Amino acid sequence: MKFFVDTADTAAIRELNELGMVDGVTTNPSLIMKSGRDILEVTKEICEIVAGPVSAEVVASDAEDMIREGKHLAKIASNIAVKVPLTWDGLKACKALSSEGHMVNVTLCFTAAQALLAAKAGATFISPFIGRMDDINLDGMQLIEDIRTIYDNYGYTTQILAASIRSVNHITDAARIGADVITAPPSVIKAMASHVLTDKGLEQFNADWAKTGQKIL
């Protein structure tokens, strides 16, 4: 499974990238706003940090303007994936951009039918939003499973990018089902290393070691 980090915080991206924990990055208008930086400037820096796809989102609502914005964003770096919403105009933009060789991430997916349309439009990635489905008492993981089944049935190469990840369980469940990629905030990725029994065991080891009075160095 590939790990994308969902942030525009370049310091956090660098830290995870140095550990080999970053296969790509996803951003959106909210994350750009949180960074407080110019979208073109911060996106260019992110593209220089990571070798994998960096999703940069259009903000237009009609296909023609999405295509124009997407082409502009794609000029930032060769690893840009243009992010478009899963609307009819977004699908038109996806088809146009992917036909010209651009990577496209179709976002805000909430049904398997939407995911099927995105694959047929040539999407590189489809981003089902797990957490937001859970928020309204729908099963986000069932959506991942349904998309996986449909794509495998027909040999679609669009990668399932599980998004709106809120917990470590979301990541492990998505991996078990067969999502190709997850995108999560840095804090959630780091939380994968934590477990109460690990902490408890380390505490005991340290206490016992102290009793020996020894030093390694």
Residue 83 a catalytic site member: yes
Cβ-defined contacts of 68-73 (< 8 Å, 24+): 70/97, 70/102, 70/104, 71/97, 71/100, 71/102, 73/43
The residue annotated as part of the active site, out of 71, 83, 95, 215, is 83
Rounded to whole angstroms, how far apart are CA atoms 59 and 78? 20
Residue 148 contacts residue 179 (beta carbons within 8 Å): yes
Nearest alpha-carbon partner for 46 in 87, 6, 84, 104: 6
Q: Half-sphere exposure of 170 toward its Cβ, with a 13 Å CA cutoff? A: 26
Give phi and psi for 183, each to the nearest 5: -125, 130
| Side chain identity at residue 55, one-letter code | S
Active site residues: 83
